[in-house]
Amino acid sequence: MGKLTFRRRKKAVPPPMPPPPPIEAAATTSKAAVKKKAGGAKLWMRMDRWGQSELIECDKSVIIKRVSIPARDLRILGPIFSHSSSILAREKAMIVNLEFIRAIVTAEEVLLLDPLCQEVLPFVDQLRRQLPKKSPSKHVGGQMVTQDNEIQSPTAGQWLPVPEAAEGLQDELPFEFQVLEIALEVVCTYLDSSVAELERDAYPALDELAINVSTKNLEHVRSLKSNLTRLLARVQKVRDEIEHLLDDNEDMAQLYLTRKWIQNQQTEAFSIALTSNNIVPAAHHLRRLSSTRSGSLVSNYLNDHDVEDLEMLLEAYFMQLDGTRNKILSVREYIDDTEDYVNIQLDNQRNELIQLQLTMTIASFAIAVETLAAGIFGMNIPCTLYHRNGIFNQVVGIMTAACVVLFLLVMGYARWKKLLGS
């Protein structure tokens, strides 16, 4: 017992503290956590206004910080709204969701979601071909224009952004409209090719159905009609979105991202100049800029109510989509005409069957009368006719002739009442 008591009073020696994990192990754990956190990252393609592109993999938070849009706008680019069409304007970005093209466009770059998809590759190729490969800096009128189209005055030392039109390119659209134009062109071309393919399949199938109404041909036309309905809905969504923008000048004005970017840059430049007590040289430089040939272009470019460029762009593709929609409607009209023709054929066959059934019913009625007479003579009733020789043939002939006369009379009555065709 004493030995047991001694064990109870013995103090437990605490185990030695484990050594701290090495720095490499901690770094590995941190990398694993970051990798696990980035599991929801998606593949994006970034292309700036100078045509330089790269593939990046980032999650929603990085995109939200980069383009300054609310998180709900990214849901528009998600799989739930993959078949919807929308062009939304935000303060610093434009959300483009047209068919398979899902992109975020700013005044300086475009972020394209899932750029390696088979349907998106033509859009990527068009971007790389049509966006100009510009040099980082140019000289215009003794002033240096940087890659972001900012003019530096050698006297004032202030940076004032100007639009690309100031370089003499009056017909060049802003960067965001160039991307939007390429997106609309690719989508309209894709829809138009889909309609052309549908027309190549629809017209021969409809002609075959008009010749031979069979289950196989009917099933083929049914699938074509369902595909046509889905294609019409897709074209109608893009067309309605463009029409919605054309009906609202304020929405179109909000899509001028480069204009807003230039105005913000000028405001910041004047604020910096005011803070540094250097507002006079900056204003003097602005007067010099306004007095040049490009000054009128800048003033027009910064006009908030001038949406003529975007309006002309949207009207062109609206007319193209309207033509594509008319093609689909013509195919659907041809399908409706073929269905009407098939229904007329089926109604005609049904009428012929009804006439045949009526003829057979009249013949059955005439034969039933003869059968009734035969049944009467077949009874065991004493009759002197049974003992006469050769009476059978006479009775049968008379009864048959009576049935034929009865059949002809009923048929004549049916034709007189127009129950049977001529």
Q: Which two tokens stand for residue 4?
A: 């047991």
- Contact criterion met (CB below 8 Å) for 97 and 104: no
The residues, ordered by sequence, that sit 6+ positions from 21 with a Cβ below 8 Å of its Cβ are 29
Question: Quick one: which H or E segment has residue 414?
Answer: helix 391-416
- Contact criterion met (CB below 8 Å) for 117 and 45: no
pLDDT tens across the length of the chain (422 residues): 444 344 444 444 444 444 444 433 333 334 444 443 444 688 899 998 888 888 988 888 888 888 888 888 788 787 766 667 889 888 888 999 988 899 999 988 899 988 888 989 999 998 888 876 554 444 433 333 444 444 343 333 344 444 443 343 345 788 899 999 999 999 999 999 999 999 999 999 999 998 988 889 999 999 999 999 999 999 999 999 999 999 988 888 888 888 888 888 888 787 787 777 554 444 444 444 343 434 444 444 556 567 888 999 999 999 999 999 999 999 999 999 999 999 998 898 898 899 899 999 989 998 898 888 888 777 777 777 777 777 778 878 888 898 899 889 988 888 888 887 75
Sign of CA dihedral 368, 374, 380, 383: positive
Summarised one tens digit per residue, pLDDT across range 214-249 is 889 999 999 999 999 999 999 999 999 999 999 988
pTM above 0.75, yes or no: no
Cα 169–Cα 175–Cα 179 angle in degrees, nearest 5: 125
The 143-145 sheet, strands edge to edge:
138-140, 143-145, 150-152, 159-161
Summarised one tens digit per residue, pLDDT across range 251-304 is 888 888 888 888 888 887 877 877 775 544 444 444 443 434 344 444 445 565
- Contact criterion met (CB below 8 Å) for 155 and 285: yes
DSSP state of 166: G
- Which bin fits 150, alpha (ψ -120 to 50), beta or left (φ > 0)? beta
Which segments within 67-149 are labelled E, that is strand?
86-89, 94-98, 101-105, 109-113, 138-140, 143-145
Q: What pLDDT does residue 224 have?
A: 92
Summarised one tens digit per residue, pLDDT across range 346-366 is 898 898 899 899 999 989 998
The whole-angstrom separation of Cα 100 and Cα 85 is 9
